[in-house]
Amino acid sequence: MKAVKKAMALVLASMLGNTATNSRAAEAQEVRPLPENHGHVDAKLYLGAGESQPLIVGFGGAEGGNLFASDFAKEAVEGYVAKGYAFLAIGYFDAPGAPKELDRISLEGVHKAIDDAASNPKVNGRCIAVIGGSKGGELALLLASHYPDIKAVVGLVPGNAVFMAHTSTGDTASFSMNGRSLPFVPVPESAARFFFPPDRNLRRAWEEMIKDKAAVERAAIAVERINGPILLVSARHDELWPSMEMSEEIGRRLARHSFPFKFEHVVIDGTHNDAYAHPHLSDEFLKTNLLMESVNGCAR
């Protein structure tokens, strides 16, 4: 995941052309035209030889493109397929046919690609899990909170709320439903200096953003609606955003709502990218909560 830090720095540094109006824009009626290719994604399905293969859907982060269809993830995807899963790699921005920027990505468009893959005769469409890292973790949790056909979630260094689009103005959300920007945490003026040298510190910028508790509550992902177990892997020394603290807040929200499924939060004593270096955590979670459950149709 070496591209993540560089990509985050580049796209976030471009957001603050109008920081003084970001807070007001977050509350205003969304009138900005939807991006070109809104509702489209780049989807690639990998299948093994077996029948009724449970489906894993993978999302990359702020680096864009289709991470799980790249050479970087080739070995991991092939490993999942060899174990009996089908794997759907989705590029939701800066990928062929998808929007160029991470701006109001359509949850319906992402879910349609999953539906299409689930209809394949070799796929067990009743057994679907999503896995995503960083912004992809935000997407994985958000998508599962809206679509109960998703039966398990793995979030690697995820966020607990919807955050702003990675555009020059940052006055829309990263994600949308029904063509409308979802409620999101805006960029306050207090965060501006942390996006630029000599004070650049992306974590501090996010820490400033999430001080707005009312905005975070409005934009919080309704994780309690997820229809299955959740695994979060965060980083104690995450330099890009406070993934440990946001994951802890997810845990508190689940507890308040008496979440009926298993929730596990593993904290890695490292940085943002270090959370990706423990694939056994995801492997064991998916084996227990997807592959072994597939014989019963993942009934829940």
Residue recorded with tokens 């299955």: 228
In a domain, 299, yes or no: no
Strand order in the sheet with 180-181: 105-106, 175-177, 180-181
In a domain, 270, yes or no: yes
Query: Mean pLDDT over all residues of the chain?
Result: 90
In a domain, 111, yes or no: yes
Q: What residues contact residue 172 under an 8 Å CB cut-off, 6+ apart?
A: 25, 30, 32, 103, 104, 164, 165, 181, 184
pLDDT, tens only, 211-233: 999 999 999 999 999 999 999 99
- Yes or no: say if 161 and 220 are a contact pair by the CB < 8 Å rule: yes
Please give the distance of CA 298 from its chain centroid, rounded to a whole number.
Answer: 22
Average pLDDT over residues 175-187: 94
Distances in Å between the Cα of 79 and the Cα atoms of 54, 279, 283 are 14, 11, 10
- Whole-angstrom Cα distance, residue 136 to residue 174? 11
pLDDT surpassing 60 at residue 4: no
Q: What residues contact residue 193 under an 8 Å CB cut-off, 6+ apart?
A: 199
Of the candidates 205, 196, 23, 43, the residue with the CA atom closest to the CA atom of residue 113: 43
Distances in Å between the Cα of 204 and the Cα atoms of 38, 155, 247 are 31, 22, 17
Find the domain containing 230 and state its range.
2-26+34-294
In a domain, 300, yes or no: no
- Whole-angstrom Cα distance, residue 60 to residue 103? 15
- Whole-angstrom Cα distance, residue 144 to residue 292? 20
In a domain, 283, yes or no: yes
- Whole-angstrom Cα distance, residue 24 to residue 22? 6
CATH number for the domain that contains residue 99: 3.40.50.1820
In a domain, 154, yes or no: yes
- Whole-angstrom Cα distance, residue 22 to residue 171? 6
Give me the percent of the chain exceeding a pLDDT of 90. Answer: 80
Of the candidates 11, 1, 4, 2, the residue with the CA atom closest to the CA atom of residue 195: 11
Number of domains in the chain: 1
Give the residue with greater pLDDT, 74 vs 6: 74
In a domain, 180, yes or no: yes
Residue 138's pLDDT is: 97
Read off the pTM: 0.90
